Each structure stands twice: as C-alpha cells, then as structure tokens.
Amino acid sequence: MELSIRALGEARQPSPLQLSTVSGDSIADFTPPNARVFLDPTQASAGQPSFELAGPRALNYFRGPEVTAAIVTVGGLCPGMNNVVRELVLTLWHRYGVRRILGARYGFRGLMPDSPEPLQALDPGVVRDIHLQGGTVLGSSRGPQPVDRILGLLQQRGIDMVFCIGGDGGMNGARALYEETRRRAAPIAVVGVPKTIDNDLPYIERTFGFDTAVSIASGAIRAAHVEARSAPNGVGLVRLMGRHAGFIAAAATLAAREVNLVLVPELPFAIEGERGLLAWLWQRLDRRDHAVIVVAEGAGQEHLTGGAGRDASGRDASGNVKLGDIGVFLRDRLIAAGRSRDLQLKYIDPSYIIRATPATPSDAIFCGDLAESAVHAAMAGKTGLVIGLWLNRLTHLPLATATDGRKTISLDGSFWRSVINCTGQPAQLV
Amino acid sequence: MELSIRALGEARQPSPLQLSTVSGDSIADFTPPNARVFLDPTQASAGQPSFELAGPRALNYFRGPEVTAAIVTVGGLCPGMNNVVRELVLTLWHRYGVRRILGARYGFRGLMPDSPEPLQALDPGVVRDIHLQGGTVLGSSRGPQPVDRILGLLQQRGIDMVFCIGGDGGMNGARALYEETRRRAAPIAVVGVPKTIDNDLPYIERTFGFDTAVSIASGAIRAAHVEARSAPNGVGLVRLMGRHAGFIAAAATLAAREVNLVLVPELPFAIEGERGLLAWLWQRLDRRDHAVIVVAEGAGQEHLTGGAGRDASGRDASGNVKLGDIGVFLRDRLIAAGRSRDLQLKYIDPSYIIRATPATPSDAIFCGDLAESAVHAAMAGKTGLVIGLWLNRLTHLPLATATDGRKTISLDGSFWRSVINCTGQPAQLV
Amino acid sequence: MELSIRALGEARQPSPLQLSTVSGDSIADFTPPNARVFLDPTQASAGQPSFELAGPRALNYFRGPEVTAAIVTVGGLCPGMNNVVRELVLTLWHRYGVRRILGARYGFRGLMPDSPEPLQALDPGVVRDIHLQGGTVLGSSRGPQPVDRILGLLQQRGIDMVFCIGGDGGMNGARALYEETRRRAAPIAVVGVPKTIDNDLPYIERTFGFDTAVSIASGAIRAAHVEARSAPNGVGLVRLMGRHAGFIAAAATLAAREVNLVLVPELPFAIEGERGLLAWLWQRLDRRDHAVIVVAEGAGQEHLTGGAGRDASGRDASGNVKLGDIGVFLRDRLIAAGRSRDLQLKYIDPSYIIRATPATPSDAIFCGDLAESAVHAAMAGKTGLVIGLWLNRLTHLPLATATDGRKTISLDGSFWRSVINCTGQPAQLV
Amino acid sequence: MELSIRALGEARQPSPLQLSTVSGDSIADFTPPNARVFLDPTQASAGQPSFELAGPRALNYFRGPEVTAAIVTVGGLCPGMNNVVRELVLTLWHRYGVRRILGARYGFRGLMPDSPEPLQALDPGVVRDIHLQGGTVLGSSRGPQPVDRILGLLQQRGIDMVFCIGGDGGMNGARALYEETRRRAAPIAVVGVPKTIDNDLPYIERTFGFDTAVSIASGAIRAAHVEARSAPNGVGLVRLMGRHAGFIAAAATLAAREVNLVLVPELPFAIEGERGLLAWLWQRLDRRDHAVIVVAEGAGQEHLTGGAGRDASGRDASGNVKLGDIGVFLRDRLIAAGRSRDLQLKYIDPSYIIRATPATPSDAIFCGDLAESAVHAAMAGKTGLVIGLWLNRLTHLPLATATDGRKTISLDGSFWRSVINCTGQPAQLV
C-alpha cells in the first residue's frame, strides 16, 4: 500500500499564516513535516502503516499572490459540495492571498479547451452565501474527459493547482490528470476532496455529506414507520443509497431506531425459504402487525439478474455498473406475495431529496476542515493526494490508494453488531 | 343545495363552559344559535346561501358526564390526524366533563362488533404527546363496512356521538352511518372532520394537513431545483398528490417559486405538438439549460389510457378510481425523448413522506379549532354534518353537501393567475 | 373611514399580461375595475363598507419599459422581506418589462440624496436566491427622513413608483411621502406592503411573517414545556413579540397546545391577590408540578411603571414608545416569589431568532401574492395605498386607513375563546 | 492515571447474545476481554496508556432474568437523555431478558427511600416514542443526596445495577455511590453515561448532545448574522454554553462560518486597549459595517468580578460555581460604548432552546451506542466506570478518572487553528 505523498519541489516559501512552530505558547501550531497517524490504535507496533497528517506547513512551495487555482466538482450531488467550494475560495483568498481562483462549470468538461461554458472567476463575494444551498454552484457532470487536453488548458491558463471534489469517477479523473502532470513534468498540484455519499473509500473514516445523508434518510425511515404503524399489516419500505457498501442504510437505521430489517450489499439474503425475507416478514407481521424494512440500492442484486427490474447491463457515464432497482423489485415482490394478507406497503425513495440537501452543521464543519487542509496541501506543493480522515485526524492519502478498492461494512465488526442489536434481525438471511 | 343542519332534539342543557352571552364584556362569547356566514362577500344579497357558524352553544343537548363518545380515523394518512384526535379528547374531557371516550382501531372496521381490535379507552394521559407524531395512533384503513352492524355496536356500547376523521371514503361512510341513525331514530350524533390532503371539498376553504403538505412538497421542489441547476440539461420532475384537484401542486409551486411548469388535473396538456410539453421543454432548455416540472397525480390521465403506466381499471378499497402513475410515465417519456440531448432528469415522489409528517404549527392551530368545533356541535346535538371553513369562519356543513361534488382550481380565477404569473408557463398547453 | 383609492391619472395602457376579460374561458382573468369585498360576511347589507380588490388591471397608467421603480425596506426584521423584494423585482421584470429597478439601502436613509450607500440596481439574477435567507438584502433602518428631500431624489432619478415594505414607522413614512407627492403633484405611485410581525394592522387579516413567527415561537414554547416537565416545580417562561396586540403569543399558544397561561396586552392581570398570577401559579404547581407561561412583550406594562425593568420613557427611532421588559421582570419576580418552593424557572426569549428566520412556505406564498398585487396596483397608477387581505381576498387599503389605529384581540371573540379553551386559564386575572 | 476497571466478581454466565467469538465468519463478534485502545495514535509506544474497549462479553456476571436495574438522570437537560433511557431499556429487555427496570424520578432524589415520587416501572411500551422528545421523561434535578440512604434503597429493592446519566454533579454522585457500594461490599454495578453538553470530560472525545447543541447553536448564529447584515453598524452577539471549555461556541462557529470573533474561557481577552475587544470591533465595523460575535458563558469571567453582572459568589445545587452573565455584560458594554456610532446590537441567548431539543440523528446513533455499551458493561459485572469514546472506539473509563479534571480547548492545537482560520480573528486579544 502506497502511503507516501509526492511534492512538486522543495518547500522554501515561509507561510503567511500567523501560526507558531513552538508547542505550548498558546498560539496554534503549524503541522510538523513528519507528523503521522498510525493505522491501528489497538496495536502498538512501530512498523505498522501510517498516514501523513494534513495541516498548514511552515514552509510552502507556492506563494499565494502568484498562484492561479482551479476548482472542479464532478459526479452526482452530495450535501456539502458548496461548502467545500466556499471554504477553498475563502482560505485561498484570505489566508494565502490568492487572487485568481477559477471554477470549472459542469465537471471536467468545464476544464476542456472547447467547453461551452467558460471558467468562472470566484471570490469571497461570489461564494458568500452558497453554503446555504444544496448542490454545486459550479455544476457537475459525469464522464471522463481526455486528460491531455485538460492539462493543455491548465497550462494555457497558467493554473498551478487543481482542487477536484468528486467521487469514484472524479477521483479516477483526478488520478489520471495527476499522472499526466507527472508524465509531462507539469508543476501543477492535483488535490482531491473525496465526495462519496456512500462513505465507501478505503482508509478514510468519513466523507462529507454522509452525516447529512443519514440525517435525511432517518427522517424518511420515520415516515415509513408512521405509515407502517397506522395500518393493519402495514409495511414501510425505504430504499437508500449504497451501491457497494451499506453504510447509509445501516447508519440511518441506527439513527431512526425503528427499523426491523436492513438489507445491505454486504449481506446476502434469500427471498423464499425458511430463513428468507418473506418468512421473516410473515413472522414479524404475525407478532407485531407492522414492519419497517430498509434496503440499500446495491443489496440483493443477484435477485435482479435477467429480471424485469434489471437495466441493460451497461455502465453509466462515470463507469459505474448500472444496478437494477432493488427497491422497486422488492416493493412489487412483497405486494404480490402479501396480497392474501392485505399487506399495506408504502414505498419511499428519498434519494434525490437527500442528495440536494444543504449540509448539516456537522458536515459544514467537516467540509471546512477538508477544504482548508486541501489548500494547505496544495500550497505546500503536495500533489496526487486526497484529504482523508483517520482516527479523527485529517490526513494526506495518495490518490492511487484512495482509488484502489473500497471500504465495506465488516459483518464481524462492532458497527454491524450495533445494527443487529438495534433491529433485532437474524444474523443470517440465507 | 342543502345547508340546514339537523339536531337530535331540543337543546336544554346549560353549557358548562364559562362563556358569556353578552357582547362587549371582555368575556368570550357563546355562538348565537342563528349566526351564519354568507357565501359570497363580493355580493350583498340577503337572499344568497349562507352557512351556519360553528362554536359553543349556550344550551346543549347532551350533558358531558353522561356521554360516551367514539372517535374513528378513516383512509390514507394526512398530517394532523393525531392533533384532531388529541383535541377532541381534551375538549370532551376538560371542557365538557366527558369521561368515556373510545377510539376505534383501524378505521370503520374497529367499529364492527367482530373487530379483532377492541375499542381503546382515550384520556388526556394517553393523548398527551401524540400531536408530536405523524400518522394516527388509532390506525386507519380504507373500505366501507356495513353501517347497520356498526350502529348495532354503537347502541350496544351506549355511544352517543361519533367523530369521524376521514376523506372521501370516510365522509361517505359517515353519511351512510348518519342516514342509518335517522332510519332507526337512534339519538347518536355523527360529526365529521374532513380529512382530504388534496383540499378538494366543496364549500370548504381549507382542510387540515394541506398547509403541511404544501410545506413539505415545496422542500421537494427545492431539491428538484437544486438537482436541475447542477447539471447541464438538468430537469427536476416532482410528482405530488392531487387526484382530482391540483391545489397541492399549485400551492407548492407558489411556495417554492422555482417551478417552470406545473401540470394539474384541471389543465389538459398535449405531449407532442408545437404547444405540447416536449416543445415547451426544448425551448426552456435552449434558453435556460434547466427546468423544474411539477405534476399532480391526477393530471394527464388521458395519456395513460391503455398504456403501460395504467393500473387495472378497478377501484381501490375506498372506491376511488385507480389512477395510472403519471409521474413515472412522464419520467420515462422525457428521458426517452431527451436522450439525444443527454437530458439529466431527476425524479422525486415525496408522497408518503408528506402524508406521515407531523402537522405544521398552522395546521396544529387549525386542527385544534376543528376538533373544538366538532365537540361543540355534537354536544349541542347537531348531527349529519362536517366542520367546514368559509371566509375564515368555522361552519357546519351538511354531510350530504360536503360529499356532493368537488372543489377544483378555477382556471379563470386569481389563484391560478398567481400560479402562471409565478411559473411564466403558457396559459394553454394544447 | 376612507376606503377609496387614488390614481395618478387615467389608465389607458393595455396590459402586457396575457389574461382574459371573459369569465369562463379557462384563461385567468384581469380584476374588473369595480370589484370589491364587503366588510362583514355575516351581514348582507349593501350599504356596509367594502374594500377595492387588488389584482392586474386590463388598462394601466404606466408602460413597463418606460418605468423606473424603487424598493425600500424599513424597520425591524420580519420573515419574508426578501421574498417580497424578490417577487416585486421578478413581476416588474418578467411580467411588465420594467428594466430599471433600484433598491434603497438601509431604509429611507437610502433614499436620501446624501446617503452614504448608493441605490442598488436589482434584476432577476441579483434576487434569484435571496428568498432562502432571512432578513433583507437591502438592509433596513428605523427613523423618519425628510420627505421633501426624498422626493427630490426620486424626481432627480426619474423614479415613477416606490414600493415601501415597512411597519408602523415605514407606513407612516410612506404616507408622508405620498402626501408630499400629492402636494407637489408628482406623478409617483407610492405603494406599501405592510410588514408588522405583530399582525396588528386594522382591516388587514394577515400580514406576512406572522405565520413564520408563530411557527418558530411555538418551537420555543415546546422547549419551555420540555424544561418545565423535566424538573420538579418546573416553570417555562417564554417572552414573545406583541407590543400592542397579543396575536403572536396567542397563536403560538394555540399551535403548541402546551401553554397553561398566556398574557397579552389586551388582558389586564394582577400579580398579587387571589386572582393574580402568583396565586394561579401556586395552584397549578400544586396540582400538576409544572407550568408553561407565555407573555407578550406589551403585556402588564402597568407593573413596570417606574420600576427597575422600565427604560427611560422615551421613544425609539421609529417613534415607538419604549416598553419595559416584562419578560425579565416576570422572570425575576417569579424566581423571587418561588424561592421557598425551589421553583425551577427557565426563561426563553426567541425574538431575534424569530425575526431573522426565512419565511415558511405559507408566508412565501403570501409574500408572492402581496408583491404581485403591489406591482399591479402601481402599474395601474394607483397610489397612497397598501396591499391588504380581507376575507382571503387581496385588497387595496388607503395608507391613511392602514395607519389609523390598530387591530387587537377581542376578548369577546372566537379567537380568544379558542385560546382560553386551549390553555384552560381563568377568563380574568384581576 | 487509573485506567483499569473493577468487576463485581467472576464472569461465568454465557451471554444470551447470538454473537461469535470467531473472527472472519461474517457474524458479529463479542469484544475480547483484553481489547484496548491506545492513547496516542501518533506514537507507537507499547508502554503508553490505553483504555479498555467497551462491548458485549461472551461471559457475564449477571443473568438477565434475575436482574433488577435502575436508571437515573441527573442535572441540567441535554439532548439525547431520552434516547439513552430508551436504549438502556430496550437492550436490557430485548437482548438480555431483564424484566425489572426501574426509573428514578427527578434525579438522585428519586432514589431516596422517602422520595415523594415512587420508582417508575419501565418497559418497551413505555419508552417506545420518548426519543422523539427532548428532555428526560424521568425528570431530573441537581444536588447530592446521601449515598448511604440511596444504597439502602437499592438493597431494599434488590437492585443489581444502576445506570446514571449525568454531568459533573451526576458523575460525582455516581462515584460516591460506587465507593459506598465498595465500602459495604454490595454487589451492585454502577455505570455512568456522561452527559455534559459542554463536551469537557477528560479522555472522552465526545459526549452525547454535543452534536445537537452545535447544530442548534449554529442556527442561532445564522440569525445573528442576518440581523447584523441587515442594519448599518449591525452587531449580532450570541451567548452559548461552555462554563469551562469553549467547545460548543467554537464548533458552532465552525459550523456557521459567519462568525468574526469567538470568545471562549480558554482565551483571555481585554475590553479596552489597542488589542482589546472594542478596538477590534471598531476596526471591523469600519471595514465591513457589521460583525458577529459569539461568547461562551465561561469566557471573560475576570471582567465580572464584583461587577453588576456577577451573582453572589456561591455555588448552585450541583456544586458549580455560579458564573456572572458575560453575555448580558457584553451586550450592555457594547451598546454603551457604541452609542456614538449608533451601534445596532441584537442579543441572542438560545441556551434553553438548545438543551430541550431532541437529539440529531448523529446523537441518536451515539446515544444508542453508549446505552448498549453501558448495559454490556453492567451485565459483565463491571462497575465504577463510565462509557467513553476514544479514537472512535467506545471505552470503559473509571469514574475516578472521568471526574478528575477537565478537557479544554488547546490553543496550540489544530481545532483552535481551524477556528481562527475560519473567523480571521487575531491570535491574541490582550
């Protein structure tokens, strides 16, 4: 696992930040160059992997007044994108004196020389109130663009650093762009702020927007619970995000505390059979007369193969495999199977409401921390990295590592243990 | 149009309420027996129709300590049902001294002699905090039940008054029950509190839950707008309630003020053709690159006939004609038609979130007023009526009139004028 | 009572709005010139007073492309000010083609020739998202300014219409300005949108911001109730707005439904004595161990005369008499009197949170209606009026009438009857 | 520093939880007996302190069906108290089969033999919906009670375990009770769930309610910002909780991102002088015309000594030193000093609204985790501990250590660095 971070060159510029290099003087400190956090706090082995800590350096590679920075937002909406954009701009402007900040419209296509929408100048006035809104004021889009042409635009416009706020597709794009800068020895810092509402990046404890997503999702579960309780044989079924990892569905379950069964991609489940979903549901209804079920979008994909709910097995513009709609599939399946019981099923899919919501205060804080760290990293000349979080400390993680594999729920771990304690669901459904 | 209200008998019991019959003494007054409000305040014709005003009477038919009251909630969920239940109980208990209050479980079936769930005793402790939750703690169901058997149960249990909180099905059921009480000369007051989230009852300005529905719906529109603005060729499509009348869709449009086109059942629209939906959408996208469309569930049903989105042409348990899903239909239609433009459509259907939401403060006030008025009416021995609102005054409206016809949006009127001023949409789409 | 509306001159310009003058053609109609609504819908007397209906006229005095309009916001903050500003701009721009719209900064002082802040050009882009924020983007201030100098500026800048969004001070200022325009025969329309969070204007059923204020206030009451219930001898005391009229306090009481006593300016109350506040409180605590009290800022002023809570008896910059702080007074008084009982009192004053809140969806709709009506009135050449609401219909009310007297709660009426039904408080406290 | 945890005796009872002791079998695991987390993840020294991990043990001391458990809530309100009570009850009942669960009314006084309020039986039905409300359904109070008499009641009622949800006073009470159980060799487990909205406990990263507090506080800051921006020389001043540590004020500042100066107890500040508060304010107003200031309740206490804002220097019933009201002091001081500038100051103190709010989803999850861990610990026979959080892992922390000293903001650290980056305030104000 690659954990060391590359720099564009030697950092010789004294930082304009009025921080201290002395501990204990009641003045906030620069981050020392070699500060790291270890992978496993339950082990004390000096040989274990560790991550470089993020934070302002006493010596930088760039001088703010000479810098041109670009910001791009890529992929689906996620709460907090505008917060990150805003804090990038404010930190660059107020703390480092950067005066040329450019926003790319509609994702990477806004960094193409022939983009129909020009780069947009950003300053504190432009971004002042954008954190009050969901979405991204820059616009976003999916799909890769040729990195050689993007690099051409960056060089033509004299751009020194690119901040990429994006998910799978965005981070892969940032990685390709970074590799192209290395290939062409272009002194441009490429720094990512990972945006995955599913919170499924490896070696990153938390991604922005996740707290907001869980918050809104738990409200949708509450509605499903009210519907279920208000009818005989009432069933509330909520579909939530989570293509490969069920973190949102599981965490929203823990927040709402009114879910009886949560289905996540990590957990195989049968529909028929004595340990299957239907058998569980009939028992639950016999005992309690209502049930609340949450399903993550990536769960139970095996049930969709070749079926009606299955899209053509292509990939979307970001290269993601298109999933079948397990929510609609289960809705129809349960209604059909429950007809004799006069099952009253209400189906809720809050996905696009969640994605477009402004950030919760907790996410707003986190977005601010991420953006500041991203600026500090770029000013120090670091490149090819994303800002991560490990053991509550902000870190620098190589783009190569962040895009290699995924984080999923460990069914052996304490998080899932809390989930099944909370729902009371059986440990296995096959 | 029948506007006079029946009573069970002469009202001779002095009210226990400490109100005044003297105007101007700074003590709140009883409602005089003959107080009425006229239909049209822009006309001053003494011959025009008028409605009986609701409110506490100085003389009642019933004495509280001798009364047994029953409450039933019928049909789909609507914000405020628990508020109405709570305030019925508190007013009966604290103001009139009623000590036997029974809640029927799961709608009219809870009033059947062989109901699996017994009547539930209600008192101030039981209902204390229920207004903080959506749904109905009594449970609800659809579908008629034989009124003769219900009346049998009422008589067997000595029930003197039935409060029915319900929509189309519920009001028809209450009307049938009322007619049965008259046929059998049973001295039981039947009083309805109309629950139609669509706000489509004739001669009733406002029904409870509507303010809440509009409030949550406008949040969903906001999300659609954020999604639409964040993508090139972005379209946000929101489906809202409104089977026969587009009040929720139109009012949410006025609240969100970010809708470009709202489609309601009252307004026919073409899809193809130069004045059709698609032509409008391409023009809008050419000019502004994004669009927000709201569609009420009952709009454009003519496009669904025989089509894939169309359910079997039966009726549901409440006797409502099953509608095809115009939202899913339009979603698929627009995506297909917009493929060459790379249309980015996000579809939001917040229906069940809306229905399960607790009441807004404004609806909480209104629910309180309705419940108090219902109790005053029943205590006065009035029967066969619902509580209405006309020119901001609470009224008594005969059940027969309330269930005869519907209120819809007048395309000539000032409400629709405000809508098209707000959206800028063309006056006609065919 | 003056109810007729003045016009600058004959209306000869055909309206650019694509509305109909034919009823029943399914196209929204212009408002007929002579449409009125009567004062009392419970009377059918053709001789009773009536108000001119607001709405778009088929013939106008002004032509949009030739118009210069100014907007000013005056006095304390109120939810919805930005909504009104936004909809004024959008209606002027999109519906009437007005292209010169100027915003005055910080109230009337921004209309002074020597204002430090210049008039600000407004267009749809500038106001696009302002309704998402509380406050006023134009800024506001209190205090009168010499109307002759303001009129000088208006004439110098060629301003044809002034929209004034303001409360007591603002409406008096608008009236003085209007009278100055008449004195000098200046063809400038002066149209007010009344902004009184207290909802205390005569002949106006509702003012914008009131729904929002009640909504947030009821949340503060809920907090007070939670605090009161969680402690032995717990008392929650909430101070709310309402200088001369207790509408917010009373309506928030009706919304929260957990208040045991509400004190309003209209209701005199004793503190000592057997019918006084303290005697009531001890009885309540003996019986129920907790209590929630709401007090409007203008209540019980007689207890403050010459006392410690009393400010110097001057007036503030708007000319309002400065009130003593009844909330702090009662807090200290109750704590002192309750020391022997170990009274646990929690005091909440949410005033500035309420004032700065964005508008609820219901207020957003209403602000849109008011703004559109104001534009229609000004374009028709009407002047010296405010937009009112009577029997749910938007009206034109002369500035002279709107600023003459106040609306207060009638202790004899049905609104106060609902309040005392809800709280169970005694009818009299002296 | 004491970090080892005491147990009542040997754990021999097999757990009823269907968990695994085998890693990697896709079944959630019991927590191994010796699992620990190290103090400092940036060091890899095996000799450094470590904390015992919380979680379910494979072998317990108690058998659920034989257990009687008691729950007590102590001190001021904090969001999430009801969530903790609910999840304690549900985990005891559903997971361990405990059927005798007793709630003490109004804090420790409810555990006194002569309490006026009897212990209240708790079961899943009673607690079902309490998490939707703020406060504590058990009631709370401050002040110590004689632990020998409490222990007498516990023994008389056969209580085996006491869960104490409390702050400073509550934890000191729990510690005294625990020490008394040891002195008298009573086999009663005493387990604390720390409730300090200020988040100021040593070796505990986060306490429940803090996320909610920051969330609501940031809304109050937003209101202050709107007020400040809407007036010339507008100042918004917000007072927040934080007696000894400014975490809420600082975190709410980071969340709102619109604060220009935050004053915390850790940071001394002058009022006069060239680096003092007033000088800073005049500069800020000259430059930007408005300012937002947040002050924690424990900040600047030196300015209050002997002054008018200072309470009698006693202690409250929990033994806390009474603080003077720095918010009111600063409000009056700034208004007086700013009179010549016509300073427009709006003061907001949202404390009791914050305390009474229901938990955010994030706090709801955390409360569930804490409660489950507390039950697991007590069932395992562990005692004299609180549930803590360190490096995102739930821990067992001795009561002695949790009540010894406080956590405060390190002015050298990265959290404060983010704060001053966000506000742009000077590093020093003296």
Q: Look at residues D109, B73, D62, C405 and name the one whose alpha carbon lies nearest to residue A232.
A: B73
Least confident of A36-45, C102-111, D98-107: A36-45
Q: Which are the catalytic amino acids of B?
A: 198
**The pLDDT value given to residue B287:** 95
The CA R_g of chain C, rounded to the nearest whole Å, is 23
What does the alpha-carbon distance between residue D140 and residue B421 come to, in Å, rounded to a whole number? 55
Domain assignment of residue C427, yes or no: no
Q: What is the pLDDT of residues C188-247, one digit of tens each?
A: 999 999 999 999 999 999 999 999 999 999 999 999 999 999 999 999 999 999 999 999
Each residue of A273-309: b (16+ CB within 10 Å) or e? eeeebbebbeebbeeebbbbbbbbbbbbbebbeeeeb
Residue with the bigger pLDDT between B139 and D322: it is B139
What does the alpha-carbon distance between residue C257 and residue D132 come to, in Å, rounded to a whole number? 17
Q: CB A257 to CB D131 under 8 A?
A: yes
Say whether both B217 and B261 belong to one domain.
yes
List CB contacts of A243: < 8 A, sequence separation 6 or more.
Answer: A198, A200, A265, A297, A298, A320, A323
Q: Is the dihedral of CA B267, B270, B274, B278 positive or negative?
A: positive
Sheet strand arrangement including B290-296: B261-263, B290-296, B234-240, B344-348
**The pLDDT value given to residue C369:** 98
Of residues C27, C83, C131, nearest to B411 (C-beta): C27
Q: What is the pLDDT of residues A73-96, one digit of tens each?
A: 999 999 999 999 999 999 999 999
Catalytic residue among D114, D160, D168, D198: D198
Domain assignment of residue A422, yes or no: no
**The pLDDT value given to residue B407:** 94
Burial (CB count <10 Å: 0-12, 13-18, 19+), residue A118: exposed
List the single residue in B with minimal CA-CA distance to C80: B255
Predicted ipTM of the assembly: 0.95
Q: Which are the catalytic amino acids of C?
A: 198
Q: Residue C184 sits in a domain of what CATH number?
A: 3.40.50.450
For residue C50, give how far its alpha carbon lies from the nearest alpha carbon of chain B (Å).
9
Chains within contact range of chain A (3+ C-beta pairs < 8 Å):
B, C, D
Q: CB D133 to CB B132 under 8 A?
A: yes
Q: What is the pLDDT of residues A178-193, one digit of tens each?
A: 999 999 999 999 999 9
List CB contacts of B415: < 8 A, sequence separation 6 or more.
Answer: B250, B409
For residue D356, give how far its alpha carbon lies from the nearest alpha carbon of chain C (Å).
5
Q: Alpha helices, DSSP H only, in D129-167? A: 147-156
Say how many domains are in chain D: 2
**The pLDDT value given to residue B317:** 60
Confidence of residue D323 (pLDDT cuts 50, 70, 90): confident
> How far is C-alpha A390 from the chain's CA centre?
15
Question: With 50 as the cut, is the pLDDT of residue B308 above it?
Answer: no
Q: What angle do CA C410, C412, C418 make, to 5 degrees?
A: 85
Confidence of residue B1 (pLDDT cuts 50, 70, 90): confident
**Averaged over C295-323, what is the pLDDT?**
69
Question: With 90 as the cut, is the pLDDT of residue D125 above it?
Answer: yes
Q: What is the pLDDT of residues B373-421, one digit of tens each?
A: 999 999 999 999 999 999 999 999 999 999 998 999 999 999 999 999 9
| Average confidence score pLDDT of chain D | 94
**The pLDDT value given to residue C318:** 60
Say whether both D279 and D343 belong to one domain.
yes
For residue A76, what are the domain limits?
6-207+359-402
Q: What are phi and psi of B286, to 5 degrees?
A: -60, -40
SS3 C70: strand
For residue C419, give how far its alpha carbon lies from the nearest alpha carbon of chain A (Å).
30
**The pLDDT value given to residue D318:** 61
The last residue of a domain, from among D356, D386, D413: D356
**The pLDDT value given to residue B307:** 46
Say whether both C102 and C199 belong to one domain.
yes
**Averaged over D238-262, what is the pLDDT?**
97
Say whether both C264 and C321 belong to one domain.
yes
Each residue of B111-147: b (16+ CB within 10 Å) or e? bbeebeeebbebeeebbebbbbbbbbbbbbbbbbbeb
Give the E-state strand segments of C233-352 in sequence order: 234-240, 261-263, 290-296, 344-348
**The pLDDT value given to residue A238:** 98
Confidence of residue D89 (pLDDT cuts 50, 70, 90): very high
**The pLDDT value given to residue C46:** 78
**Averaged over A165-171, what is the pLDDT?**
93
Q: CB D135 to CB C230 under 8 A?
A: yes
**The pLDDT value given to residue C309:** 41
Q: What is the pLDDT of residues B129-147, one digit of tens each?
A: 999 999 999 999 998 899 9
Residue with the bigger pLDDT between C317 and B288: it is B288
Encoded amino acid at B286, one letter: D
What does the alpha-carbon distance between residue B382 and residue C24 come to, in Å, rounded to a whole number? 38
Burial (CB count <10 Å: 0-12, 13-18, 19+), residue A166: buried
C-D C-beta contacts closer than 8 Å? 89
Q: CB C252 to CB B361 under 8 A?
A: yes
Confidence of residue C1 (pLDDT cuts 50, 70, 90): confident
Domain assignment of residue A412, yes or no: no
What does the alpha-carbon distance between residue B318 and residue B109 come to, in Å, rounded to a whole number? 13
- DSSP 8-state symbol, B39: S
Residue A37 β-bridge partners = A51
Question: With 50 as the cut, is the pLDDT of residue D310 above it?
Answer: no
What does the alpha-carbon distance between residue C333 and residue C419 come to, in Å, rounded to a whole number? 25
Residue with the bigger pLDDT between D241 and C320: it is D241
What does the alpha-carbon distance between residue D377 and residue D385 come to, in Å, rounded to a whole number? 9
Q: Residues in chain B whose beta carbon is closer than 8 A to a beta carbon of chain A?
A: 77, 106, 133-136, 139-141, 219-220, 222-224, 226-227, 229-232, 236, 346-350, 352-353, 355-357
Chains within contact range of chain B (3+ C-beta pairs < 8 Å):
A, C, D
> For chain C, what percent of residues have pLDDT higher than 90?
92
**DSSP H or E run through A314:** none
Residue D20: other Cβ atoms inside 10 A: 18
Question: With 80 as the cut, is the pLDDT of residue D127 above it?
Answer: yes
What does the alpha-carbon distance between residue C54 and residue C61 come to, in Å, rounded to a whole number? 15
What does the alpha-carbon distance between residue D410 and residue A281 come to, in Å, rounded to a whole number? 52
Q: Alpha helices, DSSP H only, in B98-257? A: 124-127, 147-157, 168-183, 210-229, 247-256
For residue C208, give how far its alpha carbon lies from the nearest alpha carbon of chain D (Å).
18
What does the alpha-carbon distance between residue C147 and residue C109 come to, in Å, rounded to a whole number? 10
Domain assignment of residue A410, yes or no: no
What does the alpha-carbon distance between residue A83 and residue A367 come to, in Å, rounded to a whole number? 6
Pairing state between β B382-383 and B385-390:
unpaired
Say whether both D300 and D251 belong to one domain.
yes
Q: What is the pLDDT of residues A304-321, one digit of tens each?
A: 964 444 444 455 566 666
Interface test with D, best of C226, C344, C345, C349 (most D CBs within 10 A): C226
Say whether both B94 and B121 belong to one domain.
yes
Say whether both A283 and A340 belong to one domain.
yes
Tokens of A159: 């751009």
Confidence of residue B324 (pLDDT cuts 50, 70, 90): confident
Q: Look at residues C136, C127, C124, C132 and name the one whose alpha carbon lies nearest to residue C167.
A: C136
Say whether both A342 and A245 belong to one domain.
yes
Pairing state between β B68-74 and B161-166:
parallel
B-D C-beta contacts closer than 8 Å? 6
Q: CB C139 to CB D232 under 8 A?
A: yes
SS3 B92: helix
Tallying the residues shown for chain B, one arrives at 430
**The pLDDT value given to residue A313:** 45
Q: What is the DSSP string of C318-340?
A: TSPBPPP-HHHHHHHHHHHHTGG
**The pLDDT value given to residue B310:** 41
**The pLDDT value given to residue C317:** 60
Chain A residues touching residue B347 (CB < 8 angstroms): 352
Burial (CB count <10 Å: 0-12, 13-18, 19+), residue A179: middle
Q: Which are the catalytic amino acids of A?
A: 198
Tokens of A411: 């069914």
Q: CB D230 to CB C349 under 8 A?
A: no
Q: What is the pLDDT of residues A375-420, one digit of tens each?
A: 999 999 999 999 999 999 999 999 999 999 899 999 999 999 999 9
Residue B41: other Cβ atoms inside 10 A: 23
Q: What is the 3-state secondary structure (H, E, C) of A85-111?
A: HHHHHHHHHHHHCCCEEEECCCHHHHH
Say whether both A92 and A172 belong to one domain.
yes
**The pLDDT value given to residue A317:** 60
Q: What angle do CA B190, B194, B196 make, to 5 degrees?
A: 150
Say whether both B42 and B104 belong to one domain.
yes
**The pLDDT value given to residue C307:** 45
**Averaged over B29-58, what is the pLDDT?**
93
Domain assignment of residue C420, yes or no: no
Q: CB D215 to CB A45 under 8 A?
A: no
**The pLDDT value given to residue C323:** 75
Each residue of C240-273: b (16+ CB within 10 Å) or e? bbbbbbbbbbbbbbbbbbbbbbbbbbbbebbbee
Domain assignment of residue A231, yes or no: yes
Q: What is the pLDDT of residues C101-139, one digit of tens each?
A: 999 999 999 999 999 999 999 999 999 999 999 999 999
**The pLDDT value given to residue B335:** 96
Q: Is the dihedral of CA A87, A93, A97, A101 positive or negative?
A: positive
Q: CB B133 to CB D133 under 8 A?
A: no
Q: Residue A240 sits in a domain of what CATH number?
A: 3.40.50.460
Domain assignment of residue B418, yes or no: no
Question: With 80 as the cut, is the pLDDT of residue A24 above it?
Answer: yes
Say whether both C321 and C377 belong to one domain.
no
Burial (CB count <10 Å: 0-12, 13-18, 19+), residue A262: buried
Say whether both C159 and C60 belong to one domain.
yes
List the single residue in C with minimal CA-CA distance to D117: C232
Pairing state between β C261-263 and C290-296:
parallel
Chains within contact range of chain D (3+ C-beta pairs < 8 Å):
A, B, C
Domain assignment of residue A260, yes or no: yes
Sheet strand arrangement including D393-398: D36-38, D50-53, D393-398, D385-390, D189-194, D161-166, D68-74, D100-103, D120-121
Question: With 70 as the cut, is the pLDDT of residue D360 above it?
Answer: yes
**φ/ψ bin of B15: left (φ > 0), alpha (ψ from -120 to 50), beta (otherwise):** beta
Q: Look at residues D354, D370, D372 and name the one whose alpha carbon lies nearest to residue D362.
A: D370
Question: With 90 as the cut, is the pLDDT of residue B312 above it?
Answer: no
Cα–Cα distances in angstroms (integers) from residue B3 to residues B8, C40, C106, in the given order: 17, 20, 54
Tokens of B77: 């969920």
Q: What is the pLDDT of residues A204-249, one digit of tens each?
A: 999 999 999 999 999 999 999 999 999 999 999 999 999 999 999 9
What does the alpha-carbon distance between residue C169 and residue D210 come to, in Å, rounded to a whole number? 42
Encoded amino acid at D275, one letter: R
> For chain D, what percent of residues have pLDDT higher than 90?
92
Encoded amino acid at B204, one letter: I
| Average confidence score pLDDT of chain B | 94
- DSSP 8-state symbol, D91: I
